[in-house]
Chain A
Amino acid sequence: MTDLAIVTEKLTRRFGALTAVDNVDLRVTAGQFFGFLGPNGAGKSTTIKMLTGLLAPTSGRMQLLGLDFSSHTIEVKRQIGVVPEGMGLFERLTGAEYLHFVGRMYGLDHATTLRRTGELLEFMQLADRPKSMIADYSHGMQKKLALAAAVIHGPRILFLDEPFEGVDALAAGALKALLGRMTARGVTIFLTSHVLEIVERLCSHVGIIHQGRLVAQGSIEELRAGIAGEEGSKTTLEQIFLSIVGQSGAERAQIEELSWLT
């Protein structure tokens, strides 16, 4: 039997009358690089927040690494790493201080934390600015630091909410290198992104959420097989995504109406 790293059953989250996540059943196998896609407001961040303990589900179950999240919260959190929305950095610490803080929060001993802090700063090319506050880092540097903090304790699952948003090609390269190393070592990566090209290049499996419902899930090849593309051409993830989520005729008509823009 394949080991499942993430399993959700009828996971639901309501905000008043709005159902942001509606009966989502996710299955992510251990070691998979899983891309979680959806249009804006589809429920991606809400799902990732529930899976990382930042938001309580209204109903449904979550199981991570075979452990029920609600009854084994601390054990689960010990084995996951998170780059949350907004990165969750303490901006008035230096990069080293922040990594040290996070390492200790995850229970690493002082010496290990110091060693890993140094290694991660070197790997992420952040070691040359030891005096700078995180607030003075560029956006790309902050993303790299957030990722470093998410992996300092050696997690078995890594949750990344829009890790490549606002990141230039150089910084993205460093992030991808680290993620590549981690999947090679059997870490499960669950990421949300709007950049479909990156997801297509990095992820082996994807889930697509639309209006709170999980509308597709599987390997990219499986999803491709379900979509009829032009003969002789390979269907891209963008085509798959658009065919599943689709741009409505009303939206297209609205764009055509904005005549004053030209």
Chain B
Amino acid sequence: MADVAPPVGILKQISLIAGLRWRMLHNNLRRKQNRLDLLGLVILGLLASAFVMGLCFALFEGARNFVSSGRPTWLSLFFWAIFLWWQLFPIIVAGFGASFEFRGMLRFPLSFGAFYTIGLAYGLADFTGLAAVCWTISIILGAAAAYLALLPAMLLVGALFILFNVALERLLGSWMERLLARRSTRELFFAAFIFLMLALQLVGPLLNRYGNSAEPWLVRTLPYFAYFPASLAGKGVGAAAAGNYGEFAIAVAGIVSYAVFFGGLLWLRFAAQYRGEELSETPAPEKAIRNKARRESEADALGSLSPQVAAVIRKEIRYLLRNGFAALLLFLPPILVFALITQTTVLRFSGAKTSMSADLFFPGLVAYIILILMAPAYNTFAYENTGVQTYFTAPLQFRNVLLGKNFVQVALVATELTLCIAAFCYRVGVPSPPIFAATLAAIIFTLVGQLSIANWSSLSFPRKLAFGQIHGQRQSGMAVLVAFGAQILLFGISSLVLGLGRWTGDRWLPAKAFALLAGAAVGGYVASLDALTSYAEKKKEKLIEALCR
């Protein structure tokens, strides 16, 4: 009989996996593409570090001030800010923790304890988690700098607060992934989202009508927030500072209860994954299929386009609608815009002077939508997988693939922009004609200008992303850097043009300048298609290798 190795302990298993990840990173760096990717990540990391460090200093100083001025319970505000960051930011940027390949790990005799510990630890290994931990440490140090005896209490509260947050963030990510993996729940989820979006429109009028009478009610609800972990953390620190250890123990027990509760729920989720849960599509309802079958047999709605471009457009739309999280992200910008518009309207209705005029707000709104929605275009082949080979075995010019993809991208941005602009004009007001015309021309300039760069970036720095998954969706470092650079460049030019209009006093100058720039961008885009077709031929091996791995 073959020798059977004895069971391996949790720590040994964790160290083996850490070693495996390190070896994978080390080996990855042998490739030039991956070295560039790392370089991009390092540059982005430096920029992100500046942001995190800046807030670290602010929180350190703030915590020191609160404690030294005898207001330690005010630290709750900081804990609330960190809590909201930790739980909301991953949704906005589509990244719930670093990648942990659950199914891949299950072929090894990995104990559930090790599996759970690694899964939880990975929640600390992404930007959101790292930043939140750094800020929590800054608060601890700031409080300790003001009153050293508070350090042990701060360390305990800080550690428990981190544990609670990481458990909740992993749990939310895991639930979202499960929810969006199935068509039926995804459709329900999106329906709820649309209702939410519509409901946001009612917030303004409701507040306007009932705002004054609701205020006392809102004030009465505030004490209930004291039972949430962020408030408990601040309360605990305050109690420790006052030497009231009974109250401190109660606050700590409260945070522990939250951590245990969410950690327990996460345990159940991970247990399902450990048992081999497979998130997959379920069949669509029969009715939908029948309708679809009928539609397929009708005349081709995209018949005026070349068959290849039409095929790519259809495929892109299907992929977009089936990729739960990507589709969800598309809904977020208009929701935020509607929320912002509602807020502005409230201010206006309540008699307060709006902080932004329509002429200033309007270009900003458009820039925000383009900024968010254009980001995926910089790695447009991310979800193609082995299917990317079809583009090179089929008898087509690669420009047709790019055209199809760009068409969907532009249609999407145009639809969302139209909705947001209509809502803006209805609720806030129509901007002046020169600004309106300039912004429309600027849309063409920044959109088309970005498309050329994004196509190049997609071919140069492709990175495979897991379809419909939330965990571990790290983009190519260089692609992110290129996107960042392109957006700074194009929006910088746009700001310059708008500034020039103000400086010269010629209100129509920006519109004329943007019209010229838009013409140049369109010309550049058309010219780039042929160049990119040749470029794709040169880059096809790297593209296929990156996406088929």
Contact = CB atoms under 8 A, between A and B. Distances in A.
Instruction: Please indicate which of the listed interface residues B296, B307, B383, B395 has the most CB atoms of chain A within 10 Å of its own CB.
Output: B395
Interface size class of A (residues with CB under 8 A): 35 or more
Interface string A98-112: 001110111111100
B289 A130 contact: yes
Main secondary structure of the interface of B (DSSP, over half): helix
Contacts of A77: 393-396
A92 to B, nearest CB: 5
A131 B280 contact: no
Instruction: Please indicate which of the listed interface residues B300, B392, B396 has the most CB atoms of chain A within 10 Å of its own CB.
Output: B392
Interface stretch (B16-24, B134-142, B224-232, B312-320): B312-320
Contacts of B467: 91-92, 135
B399 interface: no
A135 B540 CA distance: 24
Instruction: Please indicate which of the listed interface residues B293, B390, B541 has the most CB atoms of chain A within 10 Å of its own CB.
Output: B390
B272 interface: no
A53 interface: yes
Interface in B389-404: 389-397
A104 B308 contact: yes
B307 A104 contact: yes
A107 B289 CA distance: 26
Contacts of B383: 92
B2 interface: yes
Interface string B1-22: 0110000000000000000000
Contacts of B389: 54, 82, 84, 86, 88
Given A105-B308, A130-B289, A136-B280, A92 B395 contact: no
Interface in B529-549: 537, 540-541, 544, 548
B299 interface: yes
Contact of B310 (A87, A104, A135): A104
Contacts of A203: none
A129 to B, nearest CB: 8
A90 B394 contact: no
A253 B137 CA distance: 60
A55 interface: yes
A54 B395 contact: no
B387 interface: yes
Interface in B295-349: 296-297, 299-300, 303, 307-308, 310-312, 314-315, 318-319, 322-323
Nearest to B549: A86
A52 interface: yes
Interface string B202-238: 0000000000000000000000000000000000000
Contacts of B303: 110
A125 interface: no
Nearest to A262: B2
A132 B283 contact: yes
B103 to A, nearest CB: 13
Given A105-B394, A131-B289, 10 more contacts: A74-B396, A84-B386, A86-B389, A92-B281, A104-B308, A110-B299, A114-B297, A130-B289, A136-B281, A262-B2
Interface of B: 2-3, 280-281, 283-284, 289, 293, 296-297, 299-300, 303, 307-308, 310-312, 314-315, 318-319, 322-323, 383-397, 467-468, 537, 540-541, 544, 548
6 contacts: A96-B296, A104-B308, A104-B314, A105-B311, A260-B2, A262-B2
